Structure 1
Amino acid sequence: MLTDHEQERLVDLLAGTAEVIGDQLRPTAAVFMVADLAGYALPVLERALATCRRELKGRLSLAAILERIEDGHPAPNEAWAIAIRAADEGATVVWTGQTRDAWAAAYPLVLAGDKIAARQAFLEVYTRLVKEARAARELGSHHVSLGSDVSGRDSVLRQAVAAGQLAHEQVAEHLALPASNPTFNAVALLEGRVEAAPGADVRTRARLAEVGELLAAPAGRAA
């Protein structure tokens, strides 16, 4: 919910946007618009109004602003393209709750082999769910559906983090661990010598040096 200061800022943005596109916004209309838009974050509204200034001519309406709000809900066809990946049980999918629930309605038709009917069912349910979410001012929230193909998860999850759909903390346990640096020189060990690898830290180098000295000591010598 916008604070009082943010609502005042929004009034200024609405009036300025109307003026830029050749419209005039009466105070009463501005009050009603602010009341209807107060459930969104100010940066989201600022971006929507910036788009209005670029695209609209002559009239600023509440509907035009709402259409341009980036609320995290993919367009229906984009949501279907995301959801259909879940037909592959090995695939990891990052989707909104509305996409997931619409897919649940379409999945039986996919299993039956009728993808055309599945797509129609998906789009119908998805459109309704997004309409309800937008009426409640709910932003699209992304979730992960992990596939059985472990090797394929990494790129999907990293891409979602880069796009701001997921926080790194949400998926860190599912990301591949970076390759560890060897602490000793394997080739030297095969030749009977104990040597630290170039990337080993100081403590490891010291410990391996001690091990090397012990191995090089004459047999039967007391430690």
Structure 2
Amino acid sequence: MNSCDRMTDVQVEKLALAICATAETLGYTLSAEAAELMAEDLADYPAKDVGAALQACRRELTGKLTLAAILQRVQAADGRPSDDEAWAIALCASDESDSVVMTDEIHLALNAARPVLESGDKIGARMAFKAAYIRAVDNNRRQAVPAKWTLSMGSDPQRRLMAVQEAGRQGRLPAPVVQEYVAQLTHGPITSDGQAIAGLLTGNVVQMSPAIREKWQAVKAEVNRNAEAAKAKREAEQEAKRAELAAKKEAAAKALAELEARSAR
């Protein structure tokens, strides 16, 4: 969080008084020094979130007021999803056709778990994701870094629009950002590069820019590599099946020969 987002000295003083008052409502007296220390530790968080957390403490706590209790309630208001909800979002993001609005921590944890997920071990991937996600969230919360939601756009235009609108309803993207995305997704102009890409599909070839040509060539190369890898995998699987079948035949022939030998005795 930037220093300009930190509470002012006046706000910190008022917060210390509010902490003392909250302690009194819970049945004990907190020293001014302790309240000031707690206020300083909370000064990096939004004042409204800290105020709401103190109110929740007055309503919910039955013991003494602690900094951990206040922080728990402050951080719960930062909008970050639980690790289970974050995993569900990450699974949607692994579908290239789907568009997903996710936090930086989800993106980081998904990158950490992606190799395990791509290997087919969904349970192991979930464990790796949750461990990385919890570490990232805890680290950013300790530094009072606010949750940052960004759009990861998939290939399906309709899903892009739905993802943006849902993020707007949940308050994960600001209204102006949602409006801008919606405008782009519903009224986006067809650029010359867009026409060129469309021409590759329709046969009406249009000259494309060097940057788009380079990207297209990279995509073609990736497709070719994937096709070759898939072919090699199929051939290896077929060879393994042939070897397995030959081994079974050999074992059956051996068993039959042994049976015949015993019968001849």
Same fold (TM over 0.5): yes
Matched with 2:202 is none
* Structure 1 contact 146–153 (Cα < 8 Å) conserved: yes
> Are 2:125 and 1:111 aligned?
no
Once the two structures are overlaid, the 10-residue window that deviates more, 164-173 or 59-68, is: 164-173
Q: Does 1:177 align with 2:182?
A: no
Deviations 1:143-185 (Å, cap 9, x if unpaired)?
A: 110111111122221121222211233243432538xxxxxxx
SS of the equivalent of 1:177 reads helix
Secondary structure of the 1:68 match is helix
Structure 1 residue corresponding to 2:23, chosen from 7, 14, 18: 18
Which range is displaced more, 10-19 or 35-44?
A: 10-19
Q: Which stretches in structure 1 are left out of the alignment for 5+ residues?
A: 179-223
CA contact (8 A) 1:23 1:60 kept: no
Shift of 1:47: 1.3
- Asked if residue 124 in structure 1 is aligned to residue 131 in structure 2, the reply is yes
2:58 matched residue in structure 1: 53
Distance 1:50 1:115 in 2: 41
In structure 2, what residue type is equivalent to 1:13? Answer: A
Is the contact made by 2:13 and 2:36 (CA closer than 8 Å) also made in structure 1?
no
Output the TM-score relative to the length of structure 1. Answer: 0.75
TM-score w.r.t. length of structure 2: 0.63
Cα distance in 2, alignment partners of residues 144 and 23 from structure 1: 47
Name the counterpart of 1:160.
167
Q: Distance in 1 between matches of 2:52 and 2:94?
A: 35
RMSD of Structure 2 on Structure 1 (CA): 1.6
Separation (CA, whole Å) in 2 of partners of 1:92 and 1:21: 47
Within 5 Å, which residues of 2 pair with 1:61-140? 61-69=66-74, 70-140=77-147
| Per-residue Cα deviation, 1:175-196 (whole angstroms, up to 9, x for no partner) | 2538xxxxxxxxxxxxxxxxxx
User: Aligned partners of 1:63 and 1:32: how far apart in 2?
Assistant: 13
Q: Is the 8 A contact 2:167 2:173 kept in 1?
A: yes
Structure 2: how far apart are the matches of 1:173 and 1:42? 29
Greater helix percent: which structure? 2
| Count of aligned residue pairs for this structure pair | 178
Does the alignment pair 1:148 with 2:168?
Answer: no
Identity %: 40
Q: Is the 8 A contact 2:154 2:160 kept in 1?
A: yes
CA distance in 2, matches of 1:128, 1:76: 11
SS of aligned partner of 2:125: helix
1:37 alignment partner in structure 2: 42
